[in-house]
Structure 1
């Protein structure tokens, strides 16, 4: 075996760095969505990235082979089947439902953007699952609804506790007025 054969088998440093970057993102993300972007222009992709930014999500294009190698370095399963053709990965670090909604809305304005599926924690998601996730209210709305549900019984109890002395005072006042008359 010649020295050039040995050297040719070593992975290039830039590819090793890319695999490490993908591995880190896969491990840190709360969810990962896979989309196909065949035929989209650079400004169209920039629009998608800008739509995802408020949800703390990144829309990145990597080579499928490097992504598959990175997947082998993680516990993430279920993405391999979607890695065919020109694919982009959306790494979600914040609001998962908000990111799914942003992707769904972007796919409506950019018909060339096709949602293929993804993973949320350990759960595999189909394209329909991602779209169903997009229909969920945002985290802030869910928290507000929860807070309202907790607050309602407390407000009712406080009203009942205030009514007892108030009604007693009205009754006492009516008795005093009746006695005076």
Structure 2
């Protein structure tokens, strides 16, 4: 019979997995308390949270949630970064800290219902954020409209230029 503390912890992990859209696995070995606090703060600002749980309990919770099997990735000192909305923002925070500190290693992820290896998880950090994609979409949608407006204004501009030339010619004479 498992201890009540482990049953309670498993319930907490189940709730966390249920409330999140996915999770990144990182090896956080060597981080100081200050570095860990800074990482957690930045992740919180990005709509994510970093938790440290027993790997075997996370494995059970992942299986209970019907998510892909990731038991081969859950070895050693793993921190779990659960994101609520945008995986790109959380991945960018992890990337920023891993490049600055040289202590964080990508292990894998569960994103969009798929198990990812370290390279697949790291690829999310290279994607454009939601805001950047929205700005690109607005630019792409506005470009043809700007062109159409310029084409429509062309004849009127030409007429105005011709009339101004006639006025200038009459004033010169």
Q: Distance between the aligned counterparts of 1:178 and 1:144, measured in 2?
A: 47
- 1:13: how far off? 3.3
Query: Counterpart of 1:49?
Result: 40
Say which of 78, 82, 98 aligns to 2:73: 82
The alignment yields a C-alpha RMSD, in angstroms, of 2.3
Matches within 5 A, 1:1-181: 9=1, 11-171=2-162
| Separation in 1, partners of 2:29, 2:169 | 87
**1:12, distance to aligned residue in structure 2 (A):** 3.3
Gap regions ≥5 residues in structure 2: none
Give the number of aligned pairs. Answer: 172
- Please give the per-residue CA displacement for 1:36-71, whole angstroms capped at 9, x wherever unaligned: 122333222212212212210101000112111211
**Measured at CA, do residues 172 and 117 of structure 1 come closer, stay the same or move farther in structure 2, by a change above 3 Å?**
same
Partners of 2:69 and 2:92 in 1: how far apart?
21
Distance 1:150 1:52 in 2: 32
TM-score (norm 1): 0.82
Structure 1 unaligned blocks of 5 or more: 1-8
What stretches of structure 1 move > 6 A for 4+ residues in a row?
Answer: 175-179
